Amino acid sequence: MIIRKNPNIRFPNPDPSRVPPGQFVTQQWPVLHYGHVPKVDLATWRFSIWGEVENPVSWTWKEFQALPRTELTVDIHCVTKWSKLGTVWEGVTIDDLLAAAGLEEPPAPYLMAHCDGGYTTNLPLEDLLGGKGLVATRFDGEPLAPEHGGPARLLVPHLYFWKSAKWVRRLRFMEHDEPGFWESLGYHIYGDPWREQRYDGD
């Protein structure tokens, strides 16, 4: 028997209404990132909200586990053209995070996600509210694997997957949009897969 690890295996009969233009469906889960998988020590791990907020807040791993948790089943779409349907995640919604931080009003319209290892990606806050964004710590009922961003990654499934920052540690609120890592290197500032916003100018 041949075990195929190739993410490019195509599955011919996905529901076409769930597959954005130019994407193919895979049942594999490719591991893609710039640089190395960081070593993360949960004893010193903190998750923080800072930037344009009155009172920056941070949670220890234990405190973070005590926040309200949400399960989300979603399709994910990578700009390298693979899509994976029906992925099951668990974590803390950005709504619940902001509420736990005592922020009743959205503090600023944009934010930058900062990760262990230095990766960044920018997002309008609007795209994370209303249950659309999660700080995910579990996948398929298991702790999120380090190569997929564990202990915690951002999950913003309606945008290309580079916006779903692995090893996320800080959300920095900003008055004005700024490009993150890939956005500074020619990728689209917003990244809507349904409008094929892959590169700057798309």
Ligand X SMILES: Nc1nc2c(c(=O)[nH]1)N[C@H]1C(S)=C(S)[C@@H](COP(=O)(O)O)O[C@H]1N2
Interface with Mo ion (CB under 5 A) = 32, 78-79, 162
Which residue number, 68 or 86, has a Cβ lying nearer to ligand X?
86
Taking the complex as a whole, how short is the minimal distance between the CB of residue 43 and Mo ion, in angstroms? 31
At which residue do the structure tokens 């945008």 appear? 159
117 is a contact residue toward ligand X (CB under 6 A): yes
Of the candidate residues 33, 81, 138, 158, the single one contacting ligand X (CB under 6 A): 33
Partner whose binding site includes residue 179, from Mo ion, ligand X, none (CB under 5 to 8 Å by kind): none
Q: Which of residues 78-97 bind ligand X (CB under 6 A)?
A: 78
158 is a contact residue toward ligand X (CB under 6 A): no
Torsion of CA 126, 127, 131, 137, to 10 degrees: -130
Residue 151: asked if its preceding bond is cis (omega within 30°), the reply is yes
Q: Cβ distance 149 to 119 under 8 Å? A: no
Beta strands in the chain (DSSP E): 24-25, 46-51, 57-60, 70-77, 82-93, 110-115, 120-124, 134-139, 142-143, 153-155, 168-174
Which residue number, 37 or 108, has a Cβ lying nearer to ligand X?
37
139 is a contact residue toward ligand X (CB under 6 A): no
Nearest to 89 by CA among 185, 189, 166: 166
Local structure of 78: helix, strand or coil: coil
Local structure of 13: helix, strand or coil: coil
Which residue number, 87 or 103, has a Cβ lying nearer to ligand X?
87
Partner whose binding site includes residue 120, from Mo ion, ligand X, none (CB under 5 to 8 Å by kind): none
11 is a contact residue toward ligand X (CB under 6 A): no
Residues of the shown chain interacting with ligand X in the complex, contacts defined by CB under 6 A: 29-34, 78, 115, 117, 119, 148-149, 161-162, 164-167
